[in-house]
Structure 1
Amino acid sequence: MNTFLTLDQARRRMFDGDLLLFRRKRWSLGSLIAIAGRGVHSHAAKVAWWGDEPFCCEVREWYGGRAVTLASQVARYSGRIDVFRVNPQFRWPEYDRLASIRYMRRLAGCDYGYLGVVAASLLHLPGIRYFARPTIDDTQLTRHPPFCSQAVAMADRLAGGVDPVPHLADHQLTPADLAQSPFYEYSFTLV
């Protein structure tokens, strides 16, 4: 069951590094990503506070890496942004949420990894999954720019110090994989 909060109500319950997962529209590129990933989410980003303003740090199709006000995203995607607490109950004491956010900020201006998102999505399709094996080795970094869920996982693993999905390489993750990780816990949906 979802809990719906306005951005003003949610301000005290959001922290640097919290995960933002965007629910898909009916017919869009995002719906194909969500379907291939076997989930309802089509995009991943992170909360980053600048002063008293929450921002959405993301790597997004058509834009690449960027930071925009969370208020602008809630106005555009009201009822479709789920906020997940990162590192619930502080089970991973080594996690550094501020380093993770610094990593996401440094991605501002990077290109979007179209090739990577297509490859990751294809690996989740039933026929392809039979012949292809998932890569679990995160040290095999790709030369291509990251896509949304890959960027989030890299920020948490490389800078934050915790691999959110340890049995799947970052370049093969979908937003649905992040939603199922115990490293994130659903908190509320922004309206």
Structure 2
Amino acid sequence: MIIPYNQARHLIKDADILLFKGGKFPSIGWWIAKYSQSPYSHVGLAYWKNDRLYCLEFREFKGARQYPLSQYVSEYPGRIDVFRSCERIEVPVLVNNQDTPIYCSYKVYNFTQVTAKKIIKHALELIEKNENYGYHLIWRMAKGHIPFLRLFDSVKYDDENGTLYVCSTLITKTFRKYFVDPVDFLSDEYTTPGNIARSVMFRRLFTIE
């Protein structure tokens, strides 16, 4: 569903996911979307501050920042999708007690307003550090889609926290710390906007126009 920004604004909550569709060829967004095999080239976090809505992000050529969402909507009308986390996630775990046979149980994670506030607080801390944008990570991820070069791909298929930042890193680091890892078996450094969009813990609500 496409909703004008003045009608959609009140529907957006802290820690909602803002996914940006790639632009036209030959823009950087077009290349990122194509190489990550998704419609999306950028991702940020929604954040309310003094009754104004911002996008928290790591952006190429811009760095770490808070940017007014209204400004983004005017620059990219119809290209910003709003996603939201599931409120409850149950993760199967094995329980091995000496007194009983091994059995499978579930660990429950609840996404609350407190969770959202913690995620936003951590995102602001990362932005205030103003970590450098990991430009060479884009090249390393792109190699995974290029014939022959992909044989030397160094993507880490694990859950390690990296030290380099691209836009998706802000999402994975904050949600991993205070809720659930959005993309299992993939290092934060190598997560793409497409990975975030495909994560089962996020659902698309609407497109802002």
TM-score, normalised on structure 1? 0.88
Which residue pairs with 1:188 in the alignment? 206
Deviation at 1:130, TM superposition (A): 4.6
In the alignment, residue 144 of structure 2 is paired with which amino acid?
Answer: L
User: SS at the partner of 1:167?
Assistant: coil
Deviations 1:121-177 (A, max 9, x none): 3224454445536423233523x3x0101222112112x231000121111111111
Q: Which residue in the other structure is 1:25 paired with?
A: 23
Instruction: Give the fraction of aligned pairs with identical amino acids, expressed as a percent.
Output: 32
Q: How far does residue 100 in structure 1 lie from its aligned partner after superposition?
A: 1.3
Runs of 4+ in structure 1 over 6 Å off: none
Q: In the TM superposition, what whole-angstrom CA distance separates every residue of 1:65-88 from its partner, at most 9, and x where no partner exists?
A: 0001110110111100011112x2
Counterpart amino acid of residue 76 in structure 1: E
Provide closer, same or farther for how the CA distance between residues 124 and 174 of structure 1 changes in structure 2, counting only shifts above 3 A. farther
Q: Which residue of 1 aligns with 2:110?
A: 93
Q: Which of 184, 187, 190 is residue 172 of structure 1 equivalent to?
A: 190
Q: How many residue pairs align between the two structures?
A: 185
> Where does structure 1 lack aligned partners over 5 or more consecutive residues?
none
Q: Is the 8 A contact 2:42 2:193 kept in 1?
A: yes
2:185 match: secondary structure = coil
CA distance, structure 2, for counterparts of residue 21 and residue 111 of structure 1: 21
- Which residue matches 2:72? 73
Normalising by structure 2, report the TM-score: 0.81
Matched, 1:150 2:169: yes
Note if 1:136 corresponds to 2:154.
no
| CA RMSD, Structure 1 to Structure 2 (Å) | 1.9
By percentage of residues, which structure has more strand? 2
Quote the Cα distance in structure 1 between the aligned partners of 2:144 and 2:84: 28
Structure 2 alignment gaps of length 5 or more: 90-108
